[in-house]
Amino acid sequence: MKEVVAGVDIGGTNTVSGLVDRSGNIIATEKLITTDYPEINDFISALSASINRMLSKEKGLQLLGIGIGAPNGNYYRGTIELAANLAWQGIIPFADLLREKIDVPVLMTNDANAAAMGEMIFGAAKGMKDFIVLTLGTGLGSGIVINGEIVYGSTGFAGELGHSVVVPDGRQCGCGQRGCLETYASATGLVKTVLFLLSDRREDSILRGIAPSELTSKKIAEAAASKDSLALEAMDFTAEKLAAGIADAVVFSSPEAVFLFGGLARAGEMLFDPVRKYVDLKIMPIFRGTVKILLSGIPENNAAVLGSAALIWNKTSL
């Protein structure tokens, strides 16, 4: 029998599942359209059918468990709670419902925590006990590992560094506060920064030819790569705010490394160079030089499935 784990990444639009072996090889994948199932019971049926279909494709596979990354996924309770981007309202006892269909251990968390677990089991954080993963996408998610364990806190929702405040009374955040890190250090934040600079500065820029609704972090990174000075300034400003968030996280948990993951991290050295410079400048002196700023070691297209599966592998390999 070959032991495998199912990794499931539930998103507002798509749900991607895969079977993952102990070495992080993905043996099969399937996709569901999340929005096709406004009733949670229908979704659970479709998901369990999908997992069983993948298991039947190869002989002798033994399912050890199912790991799930979902918006507002609660590790302690196995629930999805009050997720704004999903049709299922209230508190969904997701793990319990799924276990009624497939009787194996089911563990849940949110996508950023799953990314951190993936980094630890299959990625660049192998062997590290203290590190942080920041996922720089539309927002900024974070997964924090201390003493080799994901930090869930008393509520199960710990690790929301995107909502630490780096600019008091700063930009409006979707969470209801102002000045949260994710309003600056995310794809959306970078676009906002460019719009502000376009409003403030007189200099010419490639970006003046792009309608605000068409502006993306990718186009801004391309403009920066071609030495557009306004785009470069926007990258620098973003890096400075991200570094402020990292410096505050370091005084808290003194991680060995902070991994950057997701769309914005693809900007590469254009982002990493100024981030490292500003972290060095802003960090409390006793921590200077103690924390590495690294690119995630997990391939982005498989990250969610690997991370979710790692929730189970982390338990079984102990």
Interface with its own copies (CB under 8 A): 72, 82, 128-130, 144, 146-147, 149, 151-161, 163-168, 175-177, 180, 244, 247-249, 251-256, 282, 284-287, 290-291
DSSP bridge pairs for 289: none
DSSP bridge pairs for 10: 15
Shortest CB 189 distance to its own copies, Å: 16
Distance CA 203, CA 194 (A): 12
Whichever of 278 and 313 has its CB closer to its own copies, that residue is 278
Distance CA 248, CA 246 (A): 5
Alpha carbon 240 to its chain centroid, in Å, reads 20
Whichever of 32 and 166 has its CB closer to its own copies, that residue is 166
Shortest CB 17 distance to its own copies, Å: 27
Shortest CB 244 distance to its own copies, Å: 7
Positive or negative CA dihedral for 104, 109, 115, 121?
Answer: negative
Whichever of 76 and 316 has its CB closer to its own copies, that residue is 76
Whichever of 207 and 243 has its CB closer to its own copies, that residue is 243
Alpha carbon 18 to its chain centroid, in Å, reads 18
Distance CA 121, CA 62 (A): 20
Whichever of 33 and 82 has its CB closer to its own copies, that residue is 82
Shortest CB 275 distance to its own copies, Å: 16
Shortest CB 70 distance to its own copies, Å: 15
Q: Is 311 in a helix, a strand, or coil?
A: helix
Residue 146 corresponds to which amino acid?
Answer: I
